[in-house]
A and B are shown apart, each in its own frame.
Chain A
Amino acid sequence: MATISDVKPADVKPEAVLSNDEILRYSRHLIMPEVGMEGQQKLKAAKVLCIGAGGLGSPLALYLTAAGVGTLGIVDFDVVDYTNLQRQIIHTTADVGRKKLDSAAEKLMAINPFLNLRPFDMKLTSTNALELFREFDIVADGTDNFPTRYLVNDACVLTGKPNVYGSIFRFEGQASVFATEDGPCYRCLYPEPPPPGLVPSCAEGGVLGILPGLVGVIQATETIKLILGQGDSLAGRLLLVDALGMKFRELKLRKNPDCPICGTHRTINALIDYDQFCGIRGQEEPAGNDVPSISVEELKKKLDAKADVFILDVREPHEYQICNLKGYLIPVGDLPKRVNELDSSREIVAHCKMGGRSAKAVNFLRRAGFTKVYNLTGGILAWADRVDPKMPKY
């Protein structure tokens, strides 16, 4: 199969011919031999699919558009949230509540009206991925969950499209290029996903706002290099980014001959149920519903009646500084070591930010023999919503 970089000048499609305006726009590319007219035409002829218009997708889409990629597809069904603005730089305050796709489209077309933008307001699934990927040359993965990452990987391998990968966590990131013809795929590196709950999300673990910027631009760079056929791609290498130490390390990646999808004896020939693969079974009840719970209204009533309730706060010290219910602070990770600080004869209400960590804490304490311990459903956020609107939310 010819690679994108095999396009010769004589093969330039009519739609990749550059107008005088475009030649002026991209002059800083054209005067470099590594790009030149030929390279810019390749960019214009290229079709890149960006999965996600959030943290990673923002810088990816912005830079690919600015660089002159001819066709950019974006897949995102989400709506802009106020907490996104700290890092999803394609969206502004005025966009809160708007579809991310609409917000992104507006900014991208403003940067480069020559862009052929193809928006896909939908969730990527096993039923639509293959058909969609066949219409593009390269897929850039900016998603935020494990099932979709495996879906993107498998669909890329099955359709023969390179998968420009980036992922982040707090202040560390990873980047690579998977699913090239001779290179490894995501499953070669990680045959199985972690069980749910083992790796916290941005909402729970936090993320340095600049991080998806760093990693997203690395992804944009790798995409452009693939299109141009220039430089050394990250295929076969895993770039590890440590933003706090500002250290960049490289690990070697190999194609796993036993990989079930890209190895010599392929056993996966179709897309599977990725939620099941990742251990997520359909629509779960909200966090904490299967532990003994108490609502914020019930807690307020008890406190007003001066009932003897011991409030256990299982968040981290820096969260306590933001707002608190004057609870006794034992971060959830320290609970096993500090459980003897608690009096099991008292009624204990455990809370965290949203109800998740405190549900874990309640389960732990119940297994340890505490009978009068309850989870505050919805956490301190629910308290700020419904009991004390003056309390800050974070």
Chain B
Amino acid sequence: MKNKGMQISAFRLGAIAVMAIGLASASLTSVSADSTPTFGTKCTTEGASTGTSTNSLICQKGDSGALKWARVRISSNRQTPVPALHANAGTIEFHHWRAEDKAVFADIISKFEAANPGTHIVQVIESSNDYTNLAFSQIKGNPKSAIFVTSRGGQFTQFYNGGLLRDLSNERFVKSNVISSALTPGTVDGKVYGVPYQSLFNDPIYNADMFAKNGWSVPKNWTSLLAFCKTVKAAGIIPFAWPAATRGNAGQIMNSFLMNSAPDLATLTSRIAAIDTGKADLTQPWFVDIATKYQQMNAAGCFPSNVTGYNDTVAPADFASGKAAIYPTGTFGMSTVTNLNPAMKGKMKIMSLITVDTKPLYEGITNNTFILHVNAKSSSRDQNIARAFLSFLTTADIAQQYAVGTSQHVSIVNVDYSANIDLLNTSDIMGKKLLLAPRFLFNNVTTVRNPLEDALIAIGGGADITKTLTDTSKTIKQGLGA
């Protein structure tokens, strides 16, 4: 599909632009941040940045080769940001799936309502699984849901085809307040239908404190990864707290396996499309290779024993309490960890999961599952309220409040991350070569992607590769044919 091609190829620009735009960093000499970044002083994490503003700093190698804080030029947008639009009175619903962000949004909403008396926004939150399955039918039948989110990929396409997305291309706040390269996931045929709000990175989070204490370093290729697992396991720690029992979170590592599984992006995309439409099945050599690697990880002791029973309540708990070294989901999981154990604040960093021994094509995964839209089918009054609220969200201080409060990176200009140590510590990934999460290239979630992920989970838990893949291929084939 044309827009997918655009999304992916343009995202290389996006990755570089994001790095160029807002990389400032703190002068981190240790993982816990007591010192604030200042221009010219030493720093430790190359690529870390303090934000997306003109005053932001990036940690990069100076002439002497030492890491120092330097100023970054924002290269891709030259417009000055515009203030929020005013809203008419009325009530609309804001549909999303991030229950974790509810409190922060509630505060932002009360600010918006104070600035716009008579206007009310009601948050409607559903679990992400339910949101994926039910949001389309729900929002289609509910014009009051004037502002809502979609997830990049199948869901975005579904809403677009259903005519529910209002064209936002000409909105000044879209042109001036949002990092333009970050708009790609919400753009179709050159027109902007949604504002991707937060950028998240589906790469494993590791306990940098624990690594430093034990003298471990992040494995840079497949062979060293397996060796790493053996070392960590011998020390009595669970290497990867992989929540295999909960499919939604277990599937995150699949992104990293996919990113380096093909010689180039076009091949990867066509391979995935072939499976998604049933033209190819799971017994393709490239997929069997991935499945074999899952098996190897299990054999090397990377996963906890009895991993198929290890769910997403236990996994972050083990990581937060120091029983596990790595929590392989993404930056979106950091707030759960710090809620379970506030002492983890400042100890988490992000790593690349490299599953090949050759030079990797990509070093990390990024995604945008929080694309904000205005409901094209709502009444014009409600659409205006939605536009005003959306513009409000794109103002720098509100976006910053959201970013810092929920520990997520955002796509808005002039945001400063220094106030949140975890955002700071993981912002270095923005400077690496990133791929938009390929997991979301599968459009047939219920019929293809779910059984496929179940198969990989079973194999990671020790099931026979050939039998599992053959059986699952058959299930997928029959499901597609019905």
Asked if chains A and B come from one complex, the reply is: no
Binding site for A on B (CB under 8 A): none
Binding site for B on A (CB under 8 A): none
